[in-house]
Amino acid sequence: MKTMFTRFGALVVALYLGGCAQPPPPQPVEPPDTRAADEATIRAASIEWAAAAQAKDAEKFVSFYADDATLMMEAAPDVKGIAALRETAAGMMQDPNFALNFETTTVEVARSSDLAYELSTYSLTMSDPKTKKPVTQIGHGLVVWKKIGGSWKALLDVPVSDPPA
C-alpha cells in the first residue's frame, strides 16, 4: 500500500511540475517587407507634391507635411508646424515669379516601414527683393518621411542650394 501511495505521490508531483512548465515563447513573426510599395507610394506623393507647387496650390502643397513638420531653408529661421508652413507656402506662392520644381532621385525606406528619406533635386525661382526680377536657386533636398495613420507625411524638409556656378 505504501508503494502505491509513493507512486501516486510521485505521479501527482510529476503532473504538477509538468503543468507548471511553460512552453517556449513563440518566435516573433517578422512583418511583411513593404519597402518597395512604400517607396513607390512616396515617389508618387512627391510627384503630386511637385504638381501642387507648380499649380501654386498652397493648401494642397502643405497637405503633404505632417502637422509637426519642419522646413529648414537656408538663411531663414526654421518653419515649424502646419500653420507656419501654410503661411510660408501661401506667401511664397503669391510671388508672381514663384516657380518650384523638384524631382526625386532616391528613396530609402526603413525595414520597419515607418520612416523613410528622399533625396531630390530642385529649382526655385522667386523675385529678387530689390530688382523684382526672377532669381533662380538650384539645389538638392532631403525629406524625411514618416508613416502617420497609414499615410506618408513629410516630417523634415531641408532644401540645400548648390554653390554658385
In the chain, what are the domain boundaries? 35-161
Reported as a single tens digit per residue, the pLDDT across 101-123 is 999 999 999 999 999 999 999 99
With cell 512552453, the residue in question is 23
Q: Grid coordinates 524631382 are at which residue?
A: 103
Q: pTM, whole model, 2 decimals?
A: 0.81
Q: What is the pLDDT of residues 19-41, one digit of tens each?
A: 555 667 788 787 789 999 999 99
Evaluate the CA torsion angle 126, 129, 134, 139 in order and state its sign: negative
Q: How confident is the model at residue 14 (pLDDT cuts 50, 70, 90)?
A: low
Q: CA 94, CA 68: separation in Å to the nearest integer?
A: 24
Could you tell me which of 30, 72, 39 has the C-alpha nearest to residue 156?
Answer: 72
Cell of 18: 509538468
For the stretch 72-96, pLDDT in tens is 999 899 999 999 999 999 999 999 9
Q: Which helix (H) or strand (E) holds 70?
A: strand 65-71
If you classify domain 35-161 with CATH, what class do you get? alpha beta
Cβ proximity of 120 and 100 under 8 Å? no
